[in-house]
Structure 1
Amino acid sequence: MTMHKVPFHAHLRSLLYPMAGAVALLGAVTLASTPAEARDLPAIKQDVFQVANSGAYPPFSYVDTDGNLVGFDVDIARALADEMGVDVNIQSSPWNGIVAALTGGRFDACICSMSVTEEREKAVDFTDGYYMSGISIWVRGENDDISSVEDFEGKRVGSTLGETGNQWATERTDGRWRNQTFQGLPDMLNALTTGRIDVMITDDIPVYVALNEKNVDIKQVDVGELPSGPIAIAIQEDTPKLMAALNEALAEIKANGTYQEIVDEWIGEGVELN
C-alpha cells in the first residue's frame, strides 16, 4: 500500500472527534445466533439488498453532522448494488452483534471493513478481499520508551473491543500491561494524545488517514510482525449466486475506476489500497 499526504477534507474532521449522533457501539463481535434461511441473489432482486456496517469507523462508515450514514464502505456498498442491479438499504448495527444479525437474517451482507478470520469463517462466508489491512502500534510523539512489546509492561494499552488489535493485546498481556477498550478510533486517539493511555493498537489505514488530515503528534512503533490480511464482505453461508455476483461486481468497479474514485474521496488522492 502506498500512502501519500493529501489535502484536508472537511468531511473527515470527525476522524479525530466523537461522531455526532453515532448509533453503533463497538464491542466483541458476537458470532452465536440462530441461523435464518439465507436469501440468495434471486430473492434479493425481488426485494432490497440489506447491508450492514458499524457506523462507528471513520472514514469507512460513520454518522455525519447531518445524521447521514456515510463513508468508504457505504459508497462501496452502493457501487456494488448498482453493478448487481439491486436496490440497497444500508444500516448501521452494533459491532458486537453484527455477525449474529447477518446469520440471523436481518442483513444480506456486512460491508463493514471486516477482516477475514478463522473464527468468523465458521459462521459466515467471505467474498474476495476489497483491500488489505493490518494492526499497528502507536505512541505519543515524544515517547521514546516503547520500541518493543516488552516495553508495554506496566503501560496502559488501548484498543477497540471486537477488533483484531484488541484480540492481539488480550492474548498477549499475561497481566504485564493494562488493556483499555474504546468505542472507536476518535475516542482512542484522543485518549492517546491526552495521556490517558500510553499505547494504541488499531487498524493501520484509519490512522494513516488521520495523520494526513490533522496535525497529530503520534508515531508508529515497529514491534515486529503483526497480523494483517484481507478485508472482505461477509455474507450468509449457502448463497452462491450472491457470492458470485459480489465478486464479479468488485472486479468490475476496480476495473472501471469506480473503486479508485471512492478511495480518492474517502481515503485520499494518490492513495492505493491493495
Structure 2
Amino acid sequence: MTSLLRIPILIILVSALVGCGSSQAHGDLLQRVKAAGVIRVAQTQANPPWNFLENGKPAGYDVDVANELAKRLGIAKVEFVASNFQSFIAGVQAGRFDAVIAGQTITDEREKQVDFSRPYEVNGISIFVANTNTSINGAADLPGKKVAVTAGTTQAAFAKKSIPGADIKTYDNATLGLTEVGSGRADAALVSRFQGAFLAQKNRLAVKPAGPLLESEVNGISFANGSTSFKQAVDKALGDMISDGTLATISRKWLGGLNMAEELGKL
C-alpha cells in the first residue's frame, strides 16, 4: 500500500522538476550566457554592410552592435556562428545559437516562433537594375522579368507575394543576385537599399537602384521564446546605445554616414 502511494508522488515530483527545467532553459538565457562568458550569435557572414567576412574575420554593422551589446551585458566574448535566413529561427529554437543579430525583419509570423528585441535598425527593399536599364522604374515593371532574390529573406517573400508573373530566381546571398543583374542574366534584384549600394561599389558591379523603396523593414535581434530577462537586458542596452550616440557612431562607420538612431526615432 505504501509503495503504491509513493509511485504517483514520485511521478508528480519528477514531472514538476522536468517542467521547471524546461521553462528555465529559455527564461535563464541571460544568466546562462553570462555564466559561460560567451554568447553565440548567428549571422550570414555574407550580407554586407550588415555582416560579412573581412580578411577572414566577422565585420559590419551587426558585428559591431553584437560586440558592444555583449560588453554592456557583461559577457566576455561573442562567438559568431555562420548560418542563413532560412535556418535562423530553427537554430534559435534548437539552441544552436543564443541570438540572431543579422538584420532579421520583425514580422508577425516570426514573432510566433521567437522573441525579438526592440528595433535596432531599419531598412528598405530596393529594385536594382543594370546601369544601362531604363525600362524598369518600379514594381509594376517587373512581371515577366527575371528577378533575383536572396533565399529566406523578406525580399524573397515580397517578390513572391507582390510581383505576380515575375520569374523569381533565388540565390544564397545578395552579391550573387546583383552579379547576375550586372551580367545580364537577371533583369532586376530586390535588395536592401544600403546593402545593394555597398555591394555595387565594393565589387564594382554595373548596377543601380531604380525607383522608390518598395517596402520599409524594421529589424530586431531574435532569441528563444520566453527569454524575458534577456530581452529586458538587451532592450535596455540598445536604448542606452541609442541615447549615448554609440549606435549612431557604428552606423555612420558602415552605412555611408547614416545615423541609425535618427532613423529609429522616426518609427
Q: What corresponds to 2:172 in structure 1?
A: 183
SS at match of 1:144: coil
In 2, the alpha carbon distance for the partners of 1:62 and 1:95 equals 14
In 2, the alpha carbon distance for the partners of 1:253 and 1:36 equals 29
Q: What corresponds to 1:249 in structure 2?
A: 237
> Alpha carbons of 1:107 and 1:214: their partners in 2 closer, same or farther (altered >3 Å)?
closer
Residue-pair matches, total: 236
Q: Deviations over 1:40-61 (max 9, x none)?
A: 2122211122211111111211
Write the mapping of 1:83-232 to structure 2, written as runs, cut at 5 A. Answer: 83-87=72-76, 88-174=78-164, 176-210=165-199, 216-222=205-211, 226-232=214-220
> Alpha carbons of 1:36 and 1:112: their partners in 2 closer, same or farther (altered >3 Å)?
farther
5+ residue gaps, structure 1, are 1-34
Which of 259, 265, 271 is 2:247 aligned to? Answer: 259
SS at match of 1:96: coil
* Aligned-pair CA distance for 1:250: 0.7
Q: Deviations over 1:216-235 (max 9, x none)?
A: 54332226x72213111001
Q: What corresponds to 1:7 in structure 2?
A: none
> Alpha carbons of 1:92 and 1:159: their partners in 2 closer, same or farther (altered >3 Å)?
same
Counterpart check, 1:272 vs 2:262: no
* Aligned-pair CA distance for 1:108: 1.7
TM-score by length of 2: 0.81
**Identical residues among aligned pairs (%):** 29
* Aligned-pair CA distance for 1:214: 6.6
5+ residue gaps, structure 2, are 1-22
Write the mapping of 1:20-59 to structure 2, written as runs, cut at 5 A. Answer: 37-38=25-26, 39-47=28-36, 48-59=38-49
In 2, the alpha carbon distance for the partners of 1:91 and 1:59 equals 17
TM-score by length of 1: 0.79
* Aligned-pair CA distance for 1:160: 0.6
For CA contacts below 8 A with separation 6 or more, give which structure has more relative contact order.
1
In 1, the alpha carbon distance for the partners of 2:163 and 2:250 equals 38
Q: What corresponds to 1:10 in structure 2?
A: none
* Aligned-pair CA distance for 1:210: 3.6
> Alpha carbons of 1:195 and 1:238: their partners in 2 closer, same or farther (altered >3 Å)?
same
In 1, the alpha carbon distance for the partners of 2:49 and 2:24 equals 31
Kept in 2: contact 1:36–1:105 (CA 8 A): no
* Aligned-pair CA distance for 1:254: 2.2
SS at match of 1:128: coil
Task: State the one-letter code of the partner of 1:81.
Answer: A
Task: State the one-letter code of the partner of 1:272.
Answer: N
In 1, the alpha carbon distance for the partners of 2:253 and 2:65 equals 11
SS at match of 2:191: strand
Question: After TM superposition, where is structure 1 displaced by more than 6 Å over at least 4 residues in a row?
Answer: none
> Alpha carbons of 1:101 and 1:36: their partners in 2 closer, same or farther (altered >3 Å)?
farther
Structure with the larger helix share? 2
Q: Work out which of the two has the higher radius of gyration on C-alpha atoms and give 1 or 2.
A: 2
Kept in 1: contact 2:49–2:194 (CA 8 A): no
Q: Structure 1 residues 181-190 or 37-46, which shifts more?
A: 37-46
SS at match of 1:186: helix
Task: State the one-letter code of the partner of 1:245.
Answer: A
In 2, the alpha carbon distance for the partners of 1:98 and 1:215 equals 30
SS at match of 2:120: strand
* Aligned-pair CA distance for 1:213: 5.2
Q: Structure 1 residues 36-45 or 160-169, which shifts more?
A: 36-45
Task: State the one-letter code of the partner of 1:114.
Answer: Q
Kept in 1: contact 2:129–2:181 (CA 8 A): yes
In 2, the alpha carbon distance for the partners of 1:264 and 1:150 equals 33
